[in-house]
Homo-oligomer: A and B are copies of this chain.
Amino acid sequence: MTSTILETLNREIAGLAYGQHPPELYEPIRYIMSLGGKRLRPALTLLSSALFTDQWAQFAKPAIAVEVFHNFTLMHDDIMDAAPLRRGQPTVHQKWNPNVAILSGDVMLVCAYELLLEAEHRKLPTILKKFNRCAAEVCEGQQLDMNFERLPTVPEADYLNMIRLKTAVLLGFSLELGGILADAPTAQTDLLYETGVAIGTGFQLKDDLLDVFGEQAKFGKQVGGDIIANKKTFLLIKALELAQGDTATTLNRWLQAVDFDATEKVRAVTDVYNRLNIKALAENKMNEHFAYGLRCLDALDVPETRKQPLRDFIEQLIHRES
């Protein structure tokens, strides 16, 4: 079923009409949406609706709203992070310019709302209320992430709250939306939200881990990219919390280094992580969240056979290596 869902989504996404004129406004939307990606969020929405009905295909348009919203956040985040590449291709502000990326992004957010209007009208107040909250929280997460860059370190709890806002709540909303669209009872859609937030938090911790401990051949991105950029990941935050004596000195020297060999820095900081057992700590935290997400899924009042496709999809996310 999952492959049928992904086919449906990609067909719908390819067929979306975004407006035509002026082209500077709408071409970047077509461009970023065509860069692909796993279509993870709308797949979660449809897999979630499929827990309750076989007629999930009717929900493709509102499901795509979360993908359009996600890509809107990428377009604006890429400006703020001055990122040159997205999925191996030039970012919108690079290919066009920052003004185009601001304005196209704004229209994308409007498009996301327009797609949500394809839900049954009696459900709009509930859906929009939850979507608005989620959208504001994603912005809060991005602002916190930028604020953290200017701090020497942040408490673990603040970091986990930031990734909950920036990444996890949208996965929560994606699953919840599928339940709402399929007329699931509130107790069930609440559990779906919980599932998504937990899986999303684990997902981001996995990202932090893969950056350092992923296999280059499978990972796709440059292994150690976060280390080179001093990005405040869970790993760095725990290392800064735990390092003492020589280890602390070494870590801080690399964090302050201006002229350095990238490979050497990655090797040295990874070495610090290994000395402090950071990998196991991060894996434990990640597994805690994944386990909680799977327990929420277990608790759903839906026959086990119906749960299988969503469970398989989530297991795949848990075990991904890129």
Contact = CB atoms under 8 A, between A and B. Distances in A.
A22 B141 CA distance: 9
Interface in A191-220: none
A128 interface: yes
B125 A110 contact: no
A147 B22 contact: yes
Contacts of A109: 106, 109-110
With a 10 A CB-CB cut-off, give which of A19, A102, A111, A117 has the most chain B CB atoms: A102
Interface in A103-140: 103, 105-107, 109-111, 113-114, 117, 121, 124-125, 128-129, 132, 135-136, 139-140
B124 A110 contact: no
Contact of A143 (B25, B121, B124): B25
Contacts of A113: 113, 128, 132
In the assembly, how many copies of this chain are there?
2
A146 B23 CA distance: 13
A160 interface: no
A24 interface: yes
A128 B117 contact: yes
A45 to B, nearest CB: 19
A125 B128 contact: no
A191 B80 CA distance: 42
A317 interface: no
Contacts of A140: 19, 21-22, 25
A74 interface: no
Interface in A59-88: 76, 79-80
Interface string A8-35: 0000000000010110110000000000
Contacts of A2: none
A106 B143 CA distance: 12
7 nearest CB pairs, A to B: A80-B99, A25-B143, A114-B132, A110-B135, A121-B125, A107-B139, A22-B143
Given A24-B147, A79-B102, A80-B99, 10 more contacts: A19-B136, A19-B140, A22-B144, A25-B140, A76-B106, A80-B103, A100-B143, A106-B139, A107-B136, A114-B129
